[in-house]
Amino acid sequence: MGNDTRIDDLLDRWEEAREKGQSISVEALCQDCPELQEVLQGKIRELAWVNAEMATRVPTETGERTTVKIPKILGRYELEQLIGQGGFGQVWKAHDPKLERVVAIKILRPERQGSVFQVANFLAESKKVAKLSSHPNIVSVYDVGEDKGFCFMVSELIDGSNLARIIKSHRISIDETLRIVAKVAEALHHGHENGIIHRDIKPHNILMDRFREPYVTDFGIAVTEAEIESDSTYVAGTPAYMAPEQAEPNASPLDRRCDIYSLGVVLYELLVGSPPYAGHTISDIRTAYRRTRPQPPKECGNSNFGLFAWGDMIVSV
């Protein structure tokens, strides 16, 4: 149970809902895995200590709670602004005075620093991303370190936004959509050729810079093909973007095709405005897989296809 990656996925969903001002119960989160309710409730109690300034209250030896704040300097890096957070880590904009450049620093959340398993996962993510940093559409990793009790990873700072925010703000043309998806596909292929499967491709994990160039990020639940061969029983990912075999622990073994499926969902969402299957839990998605079929993009009222005479060609590919 301690190594069950589903807990991290559930915590991320709880955190995303909290950031949006929404309330979601532990029972709803664990609808598909009730055996995790007690553990998840405990983890949520821990995460509830995090305040808007990322100060975290953690237990002391006497049982009292003290406030732990992220230092202004980690290693040689000067932290400037919190730019993102999730159930697993925080991302800060920072300055590297040695190389005189702005960077992004992902820090393992304070309440998780004491977990040997969480620290090992964090370092494993750093190594996986560093292995892929040679590709122009994968966020580059510059450094990894530990200072003042905090584990951190230093990477390229993308000046822009993620694709999820862009989709919400305005529609993207079909030409731009195809260009973005093609570049992300090339980045994923690079990862696959190096034996790494992302497992969580979605608009939130595709960053767009101010020149509209896409970058794949967040390899927090990525796995190597060797890891899958040794343990393919756990479920991880974001339900609406998960391939059927990714949502079914007892289905066929997971491989690189799950990333291709997820990218197909992203393509559908870019064309139509929403994923093909609606649902917030793995159970919802499983039911949708079995009982419904996605509406063809050209039949969706808000689809981009109505603007292009050659749209049917895309559908038939």
DSSP for 176-224 reads HHHHHHHHHHHHHHHHHHTTEE----SGGGEEEETT--EEE---TT-EE
Rounded CA gap, 307 and 44, in Å? 46
pLDDT attached to residue 205: 92
| 3-class SS of residue 228 | helix
Helices 257-272 and 174-193, interaxial angle, to 10°? Answer: 170
- Dump pLDDT digits (tens) for 177-229: 999 999 999 999 999 998 888 888 999 999 999 999 999 988 866 666 666 55
- Bridge partner list, 196: 224
Residue type at 58 in one-letter notation = V
Q: Which residues contact 119 (CB under 8 A, 6 or more apart)?
A: 108, 112, 113, 151
Catalytic site residue 200?
A: yes
Mean pLDDT of the chain: 77
The phi, psi pair for 197, rounded to 5°, reads -110, 125
Q: Which CATH class is domain 160-316?
A: mainly alpha
pLDDT attached to residue 77: 96
Lookup: tokens for 25 = 């119960």
CATH 3.30.200.20 fits 52-156, yes or no: yes
Rounded CA gap, 179 and 209, in Å? 14
Neighbouring CB atoms inside 10 A of 21's CB total 6
Rounded CA gap, 97 and 102, in Å? 9
Neighbouring CB atoms inside 10 A of 186's CB total 15
- Bridge partner list, 224: 196
pLDDT of 74 > 80? The answer is: yes
> Residue 18 — very low, low, confident or very high, per pLDDT cuts 50/70/90?
low
- Dump pLDDT digits (tens) for 148-174: 888 898 999 999 999 999 998 888 999
Lookup: tokens for 244 = 């059927």
Q: Assess contact for 130 and 174: CB atoms under 8 A.
A: no
Alpha helix positions (H), the chain? 6-19, 26-29, 37-47, 116-132, 163-169, 174-193, 225-230, 244-247, 257-272, 282-291, 311-316
- Dump pLDDT digits (tens) for 258-285: 999 999 999 999 999 889 887 767 777 7
**Which has more confidence, 212 or 238?**
212
Scored b (16 or more CB within 10 A) or e, 246-255 reads bbeeeeeebe
Same fold, 52-156 and 160-316: no
Rounded CA gap, 124 and 152, in Å? 12
Q: Is the dihedral of CA 155, 237, 189, 214 positive or negative?
A: negative
Range of weakest confidence among 11-15, 33-37, 99-103? 11-15
Selecting among 8, 12, 96, 200, the annotated active-site residue is 200
Domain boundaries, the chain: 1-48, 52-156, 160-316
pLDDT of 30 > 60? The answer is: yes
pLDDT attached to residue 114: 55
Rounded CA gap, 287 and 201, in Å? 21
- Estimate to the nearest angstrom the gap between the alpha carbon of 296 and the chain centroid: 27
What's the predicted TM-score (pTM) here? 0.69
The phi, psi pair for 272, rounded to 5°, reads -105, -35
pLDDT of 309 > 70? The answer is: no
